């Protein structure tokens, strides 16, 4: 006769032997410990500041800045507030970051593809570029380009003039722009409309291809819309041709638009350095796609452009996007090195504000917050794009 053995119910298990309950206790303990440490640091800091009669808070943002900023995307002068000065720094950092990311992706993709070229010279050139710029610290590259633009280029009087209206000297790159005209505003609107049309057109073309197998010439259509609509607006607006060209007056140029040596050195250093890493990411992504799929696509008569767009890129992007996101974040964070060569980015402007006001804690908190927002925004966008490009198996 078998004697039944009564096992304890799961609910009667001792608290200390239940991993789920213990994990809750550990999390509560960790949260309490973190709260205590944060409270101790904040209270200790406030006590020390009060003892030294140092005011706290962000009221200083409404005080007069009393310092100039060399480059600004918005009107700014020394009589403006500290808050506006910091905004100028934020915009300067955004300009470098967005321009740098766009150029880095383009250059890195080109070098990465060249690294896989069957041409021996092109392949070796790409390999040398990657090894050279990866192994030199980015700060040294910034110093090199800053010295190049300031020491090796001629003065404005002897500026290099490769084409009419373009000058290169130790004051930077100065070039002409179209004279202000209302039609250019309508051209911008036409460009935005073209982009919106292309978004819906791409969705329609994808559904059509899935239903019929017929490939719509999207890239040719996109080029025609993006160029054609603004061009039509320009023609209807009278086709204005007046240019605002720079002219040498005294010791500098007047007119046109100038790009400072500091901005060019920072942008060039960041792009060349980060593009070397992006190139390896692109190379790895392309090589992750089986050669058999490319051969199969060729066997059914697809053209090289179609193979790249329909077969290789959709699969390679799964490998490329995550590490590419990291390189974008690295470029944005490395832009803070601009302070070393005198470009007025957010860190540089915030440092000046801290020196003048003594609000070190608030200034550092603002720097951390701004770069945190930049990083989280970039990560959120790339995560959205990664999900959008994911291959869904059915």
Q: Which residues of 286-301 are buried (b: 16+ CB within 10 A; e: fewer)?
A: beebeeeebeebeeee
Neighbouring residues of 54: CB distance < 8 A, sequence distance ≥ 6: 358
115 within 8 A of 126, measured Cβ to Cβ: yes
**Of 55-59, 136-140, 219-223, 334-338, the least confident:** 55-59
Mean pLDDT of the chain: 86
Q: How far apart are CA 112 and CA 283, in angstroms?
A: 5
With a pLDDT cut of 70, the percent of the chain lying above it is: 93
* Domain range annotation of the chain: 82-157+258-389
Most confident of 36-45, 77-86, 168-177, 210-219: 77-86
Say which residues have a Cβ less than 8 Å from residue 192's Cβ, sequence separation at least 6: none
Report if pTM > 0.75: yes
Q: What is the pLDDT of residues 178-201, one digit of tens each?
A: 888 888 889 999 999 999 999 899
Q: Identify the pLDDT of residue 44.
A: 81
Per-residue pLDDT at 272: 95
> CB of 201 within 8 A of CB of 218?
yes
Q: Is the pLDDT of residue 138 over 80?
A: yes
Q: In this predicted model, what pLDDT tens digit does every residue of 258-302 receive, in sequence order?
A: 888 999 999 999 999 999 999 999 999 988 888 888 888 888 887
Q: How confident is the model at residue 16 (pLDDT cuts 50, 70, 90)?
A: low
Q: Average the pLDDT over 212-238 and give the result.
A: 87
**What's the confidence (pLDDT) of residue 392?**
61
| Predicted confidence (pLDDT) per residue in 91-132, tens digit | 999 999 999 999 999 999 999 989 988 889 999 999 999 999
pLDDT value for 270: 95
The string of pLDDT tens digits covering residues 66-90 is: 889 888 888 998 899 999 999 999 9
Residue 14's pLDDT band (cuts 50, 70, 90): low
What's the N-to-C CA distance of the chain in angstroms?
55
Mind listing the pLDDT tens digit for each residue in 33-79? 999 998 888 788 777 767 766 667 788 889 998 889 888 888 998 89
Q: Per-residue confidence at 146, pLDDT binned at 50, 70, 90?
A: very high
The class level of CATH for 82-157+258-389 reads mainly alpha
Q: What angle do CA 279, 283, 288 make, to 5 degrees?
A: 150
CA-to-CA separations, 330 to 3, 277, 369, 386, in angstroms, rounded: 68, 11, 16, 18
Q: What is the mean pLDDT of residues 231-236?
A: 90
For the cut 60, the answer to whether the pLDDT of residue 316 exceeds it is: yes
Range in 4-13, 52-61, 311-320 with the lowest mean pLDDT: 4-13
Mean pLDDT on 302-316 = 79
Contact 259, 149 (CB under 8 A): no
Please list the alpha-helical segments (H only) found in the chain: 19-51, 82-114, 120-135, 138-147, 182-212, 218-236, 261-287, 291-299, 304-307, 313-334, 346-357, 360-389
Q: Bigger pLDDT: 389 or 123? A: 123
């Amino acid at each position: 006769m078998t004697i039944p053995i009564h096992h304890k119910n799961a609910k009667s298990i001792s608290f200390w032997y239940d991993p789920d309950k213990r994990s809750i206790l550990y999390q509560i303990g960790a949260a309490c410990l973190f709260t205590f440490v944060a409270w101790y640091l904040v209270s200790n800091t406030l006590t020390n500041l009060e003892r030294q009669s140092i005011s706290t808070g962000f009221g200083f943002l409404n005080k007069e800045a009393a310092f100039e900023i060399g480059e600004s995307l918005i009107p700014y002068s020394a009589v403006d507030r500290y808050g506006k000065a910091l905004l100028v720094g934020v915009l300067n950092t955004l300009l470098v970051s967005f321009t740098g990311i766009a150029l880095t992706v383009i250059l890195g993709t080109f070098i990465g593809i060249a690294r896989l070229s069957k041409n021996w010279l092109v392949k070796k050139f790409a390999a040398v570029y990657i090894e050279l710029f990866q192994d030199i610290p980015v700060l040294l590259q910034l110093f090199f380009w800053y010295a190049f633009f300031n020491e090796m280029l001629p003065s404005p009087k002897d500026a290099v003039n490769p084409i009419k209206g373009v000058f290169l000297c130790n004051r930077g790159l100065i070039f002409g722009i179209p004279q202000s005209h209302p039609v250019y505003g309508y051209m911008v609107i036409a460009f935005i409309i073209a982009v919106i049309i292309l978004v819906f057109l791409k969705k329609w073309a994808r559904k059509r291809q899935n239903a019929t197998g017929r490939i719509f010439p999207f890239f040719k259509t996109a080029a025609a819309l993006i160029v054609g609509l603004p061009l039509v607006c320009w023609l209807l607006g009278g086709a204005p041709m007046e240019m605002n060209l720079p002219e040498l007056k005294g010791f500098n140029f007047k007119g046109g638009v100038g790009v400072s040596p500091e901005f060019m050195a920072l942008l060039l250093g960041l792009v060349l350095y980060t593009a070397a890493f992006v190139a390896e990411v692109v190379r790895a992504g392309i090589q992750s796609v089986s050669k058999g799929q490319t051969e199969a696509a060729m066997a059914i008569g697809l053209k090289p452009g179609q193979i790249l767009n329909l077969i290789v890129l959709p699969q390679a992007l799964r490998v490329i996007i995550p590490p590419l996101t990291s390189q974008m974040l690295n470029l944005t964070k490395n832009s803070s090195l601009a302070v070393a060569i005198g470009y007025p980015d957010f860190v540089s402007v915030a440092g000046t504000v801290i020196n003048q006001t003594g609000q070190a804690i608030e200034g550092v908190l603002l720097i951390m917050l701004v770069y945190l927002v930049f990083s989280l925004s970039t990560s959120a966008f790339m995560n959205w794009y990664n999900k959008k490009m994911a291959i869904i198996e059915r």
